[in-house]
Amino acid sequence: MDVDEEENMSSSSTDVKENRNLDNVSCKDGMGVGDQLPNGSGHGSRKRPLEEGNNGHTHSKFRAKKRKKTPGPVLPKNALMQLNEIKPGLQYKLLSQTGPVHAPVFVMTVEVNGQMFEGMGPTKKKAKLNAAEKALRSFVQFPNASEAHLAMGRTLTVNTDFTSDQADFPDMLFNGFETPAAPEESFYVGSNGTNSLGEYPLPTPPGSNLVQAPLPPSTAFSSPSTGKNPVMILNELRPGLKYDFVSESGESHAKNFVMSVTVDSQTFEGSGRNKKLAKARAAQAALSALFNMQLDQTPSRQPIPREGLQLHLPQVLADAVSRLVVDKFSELTDNFTSPHARRKVLAGVVMTTGTDVKEAQVICVSTGTKCINGEYMSDRGLALNDCHAEIIARRSLIRYLYTQLEFFLSNIKEDHHKSIFVPCDKGGYRLKDNVQFHLYISTSPCGDARIFSPHEAGVEDQGDRHPNRKARGQLRTKIESGEGTIPVRSSNTIQTWDGVLQGERLLTMSCSDKIARWNVVGIQGSLMSYFTEPIYFSSIILGSLYHADHLSRAMYQRIADIEDLPQQFTLNRPLLSGISNAEARQPGKAPNFSVNWTVGDQALEVINATTGKDDMGRPSRLCKHALYSRWVRLHTKLSSILRIKVPKPSSYHEAKQAAMEYHSAKKALIKAFHKAGLGAWVKKPIEQDQFTLSS
């Protein structure tokens, strides 16, 4: 079988597997203990007399006495085991055998990163051990394997080139151990004099006068001893600390506890699915801030910082955004007791307006995992085509942006200041300084981000080991009325209105692909481009299945070579992060409804994902028709300061097409996907956009 065939097989086998039950079940034969024993007795069955070796006697004296195992000390791993953890699959070769028969001397060699290491010993095993020790000493300045892993996490970059053929650790990784980089200096902002959860280490924005807190020098603490959890380490440094229970929240299958600890007059909080984990995370936060110690350095679980100004510490921001969205959903569903609390995926957008996450505001929340059935498509813009949670969250955010622009319709100047927008000198509006939007999704978005991330990243997970496979980065489409995605066809797929109505499957681009598009053209859409500059997400935070390599590739890395973007458009690289307390997998069948709420709404709106309308057949407040009617009102009243000066369009389609720069950016995106060999973007039938408000 040649490489191409193998690639095609591996790609097809991953076509529709994102939403299957992919629990990390250990692979066992299914043969129980009872099947293996000669007398058929298993753990769950009644004791039976021994039939072999005791002449049929049933008296207890003929039974072998069970010895209780006494727990002994955990034996340290030898150099061979440690090296195998760091570099699995090494080949040891016998170089020579000398000496007399009764006292032989063996020389074994092993090649690590292109360098040969020799070991001698009276047996091959001891010679191998000697070679492994030399190899370890050459690049690891730590007494055990776990600390070597720790250092690896600190030096391994997650911004890998996904077309590279390199699957193992680069040579520079090990050289980096010998001269550890000094930790970055941190700055602290305090609003009330104490470094509580609301105040975080921050880079210094230009022109600001933040006070630099003294940091302890980097010591051996940055490589903690094996086997000690953060609570134990912190207790050795500051004995007698008291941990306080702060709160309990979350759905029954995904409880979240918050614990706090006060160290050196500073309070640190940690959250987890149980109190023990929450205590450990609080201790870790204290160790990180006060002693510059990082215990979890698995590369694939590390946040990828955003380019440019960082207003928040990544992990603290991610955990805060996640908690805000889940708490808001809890509030809207009567503490998850409402029938509409049932969901597979939850998404939401949080807005921050400064450096304090405590002032963050939840803008919208949504759920859903299904798309419209083709026969229910609307040619008047009255049905929602895609009810996946993150897509609905973005439509809800657009609705919020229209509300903010409508403040400028008022004749009272004070109302204008309530908006998150400010007028631009050259026409149109832009967001106020420091206004940022953060997208939270409870699991990785369907398509390229999720297809290769079916499980949580483990400690041994050092990133994508096969970044150059053909299936990586491919454009994918959702399945009509179902879950999962399939790769796009190699040739351009043209969907027709009559074809879909006659039963041809309606294809919708995956969420991974749509979010990648938002990272180029912005989240505001073509119509709002008349009023505002492009708006981008500052961060994308996942509640589960976060893998740094896969998510960064899906969100922007695969189109890194995009060219000819119009002025003001860019390839946005938002902060990417998982959360400390990964959400449990949602078992069971996905509900057929999607809910949405935007700030200012009284209650959730419930939409039937199959029809794209509510159960009474009424259109959603997020449908194209509803948003277009708000756009027409704004376009009429604010025509004098628009960014795009064209005569009033006669239809929804005409209004979208007049946003020339937006469509140039979109063409550059489609060209970048095509140039990278990742497939052709599939468009919906044009007829669904050719409506007017009077139609």
Instruction: Give the tens place of pLDDT for each residue, 555-566.
Output: 999 999 999 999
pLDDT band of residue 159 (cuts 50, 70, 90) is: very low
Q: Is the pLDDT of residue 285 over 80?
A: yes
pLDDT, tens digit, 9 for 90 and up, residues 388-413: 999 999 999 999 999 999 999 888 88
Name the least confident of 27-31, 298-302, 528-532.
Answer: 27-31
Identified catalytic residue from 390, 533, 583, 605: 390
CA distances in angstroms from 77 to 81, 85, 90, 145, 316, listed in the order given: 6, 10, 17, 8, 35
Cβ contact 416:403 at 8 Å: no
Give the mean pLDDT of 177-185. Answer: 36
Q: Is the pLDDT of residue 23 over 80?
A: no
pTM over 0.75: no
Pairing between β-strand 539-542 and β-strand 575-577 as defined by DSSP bridges:
parallel
Q: Is the pLDDT of residue 319 over 80?
A: yes
SS3 137: helix
Q: Is the pLDDT of residue 469 over 80?
A: no
Higher local confidence (pLDDT), 202 or 636 = 636
Q: What does the block give as tokens for 295?
A: 């215990």
Give the mean pLDDT of 349-364. Answer: 91
pLDDT band of residue 24 (cuts 50, 70, 90) is: very low
Q: Is the pLDDT of residue 658 over 70?
A: yes
pLDDT at site 183: 37
Residue written as token pair 């956009």: 689
What is the C-alpha separation between 460 and 356, in angstroms, rounded? 34
Give the mean pLDDT of 574-581. Answer: 89
Walk across the sheet containing 476-478 and list its strands.
Answer: 485-487, 476-478, 508-509
CA distances in angstroms from 488 to 307, 412, 513, 520, 674, listed in the order given: 31, 51, 11, 20, 12
Residue count (the chain): 695
pLDDT band of residue 359 (cuts 50, 70, 90) is: confident
Q: Is residue 5 annotated as a catalytic residue, yes or no? A: no
pLDDT at site 86: 80
Mean pLDDT, the chain, as a whole number?
A: 77
Burial 14-31 (b: 16+ CB within 10 A, else e): bebebbeeeeeeeeeeee
* Beta bridge pairs of residue 110: 92, 117
Give the mean pLDDT of 125-136. Answer: 88
Q: Is the pLDDT of residue 180 over 60?
A: no
Q: Is the pLDDT of residue 28 over 70?
A: no
What is the C-alpha separation between 612 and 579, in angstroms, rounded? 32
SS3 71: coil
Q: Is the pLDDT of residue 21 over 60?
A: no
Cβ contact 613:619 at 8 Å: yes
pLDDT at site 151: 41
pLDDT, tens digit, 9 for 90 and up, residues 267-284: 888 888 788 888 988 898
CA distances in angstroms from 582 to 345, 547, 585, listed in the order given: 13, 12, 9
pLDDT band of residue 457 (cuts 50, 70, 90) is: low
Q: Is the pLDDT of residue 583 over 60?
A: yes
pLDDT at site 194: 33
Burial 288-316 (b: 16+ CB within 10 A, else e): bbbbbbbbebbbbbbbbbbeeebbbbbbb
pLDDT band of residue 505 (cuts 50, 70, 90) is: confident
| Percent residues over pLDDT 70 in the chain | 71
Q: Is the pLDDT of residue 74 over 80?
A: no
pLDDT, tens digit, 9 for 90 and up, residues 240-264: 899 999 988 777 666 778 899 999 8
Helix axes 145-155, 79-86, angle to 10 degrees: 20
CA neighbours closer than 13 Å in the CB half-sphere of residue 589: 4
pLDDT at site 537: 96
pLDDT at site 290: 83
pLDDT at site 462: 58
